[in-house]
Amino acid sequence: MDQSDNFEQDQGPMDYYKESIRLYYYNIVLHSYLERVNQEKNEIKSKLQKFQVLEDQESDISLEDKRKRNRRSAVEIPRSHVCTISNCNKSYGSEGSLMQHMKIKHGMVMNQDKIGQVLDQFRFQYSSNSN
């Protein structure tokens, strides 16, 4: 095959034509790649926004807990909703706050049955603590 000869003969204006086609397809590939990266970026961005909203809510809740503690003496504080994860002794004023904490800090996504089980566990813990 004398393709190399043909190629050399095609030098000149034909090379620019080939180059423009090559760049055209390269551009399409690059564009779709950029689209994918941009999509990923938006996904990460929305996840980050959701996380920040949850984090703000949690800090509001712990502020509320602090105010409650300041109003009452230490003995009076009901430790009704304590996190059961080891090395995490956070306690919350409501079941919902605790669930939110476990979801955010420990990545626990629970279905209704699981939530019920965990809440029963907390209720048991509280009743045995108060005795």
Residue ranges that bind Zn ion, judged by CB under 5 A? 83, 85, 88, 90
Q: Which C-beta is closer to Zn ion: that of 30 or that of 85?
A: 85
Give start and end residues of each alpha helix (H) in the chain.
3-9, 13-71, 95-106, 112-130
Instruction: Tell me the two tokens of residue 124.
Output: 């048991």
Q: Which C-beta is closer to Zn ion: that of 64 or that of 118?
A: 118
Q: Which C-beta is closer to Zn ion: that of 58 or that of 73?
A: 58
Find the shortest distance in angstroms from Cβ 99 to Zn ion: 11
Find the shortest distance in angstroms from Cβ 78 to Zn ion: 18
Yes or no: say if 102 and 108 are a contact pair by the CB < 8 Å rule.
Answer: yes
Q: Which C-beta is closer to Zn ion: that of 69 or that of 118?
A: 118
Instruction: Tell me the two tokens of residue 48.
Output: 């980050």
Q: Helix 95-106 vs helix 13-71: angle between axes, to the nearest 10 degrees?
A: 140
Find the shortest distance in angstroms from Cβ 55 to Zn ion: 14
Element (H, E) at 91: strand 91-92
Find the shortest distance in angstroms from Cβ 129 to Zn ion: 17
